[in-house]
Amino acid sequence: MPDPVAEEQFIAVQLRAAGLRVTGGRLAVFQAAAAPGHHDTEALTSAAREQRGELSSPAVHDALKVLCGLGLVRRIEPAPIRGEIPCLTT
């Protein structure tokens, strides 16, 4: 089982290296995302709020965007529906 303190320190270093602040919300969202399984945004928001207390939905979305941008979490897109044709614009 990973050491939560070491994970938190690692995330803090990554955020600071990118010139970003280390916030309780970002740490709570990361810890929620690091839990086993695949989670949707609603589940991550609930888990982060349980740990952090009040945390707005926009703050969770911002934290996810930052964490994805740093490669610390991955966004999983659902597979296209069979027969769906992607719309391409030029």
Assess contact for 44 and 68: CB atoms under 8 A: no
Which token pair is 19?
């010139």
Assess contact for 73 and 30: CB atoms under 8 A: yes
pLDDT tens per residue, range 8-19:
899 999 999 999
Percent of the chain with pLDDT over 90: 58
Query: What confidence score (pLDDT) does residue 53 get?
Result: 87
CA distances to 30, 38, 63 from 41, in Å: 12, 10, 11
Question: Virtual CA dihedral for 47, 48, 54, 55, nearest 10 degrees?
Answer: -120
Q: Please name each of the domains of the chain with its CATH number.
A: 4-69 (1.10.10)
How far is it, in rounded angstroms, from Cα 67 to Cα 83?
33
Its pTM stands at 0.79
Q: Is 90 helix (H, G, I), strand (E, B) or coil?
A: coil
Which token pair is 46?
């609930």
Query: What confidence score (pLDDT) does residue 77 get?
Result: 74
* Mean pLDDT of the 16-41 span: 93
* Mean pLDDT of the 37-48 span: 91
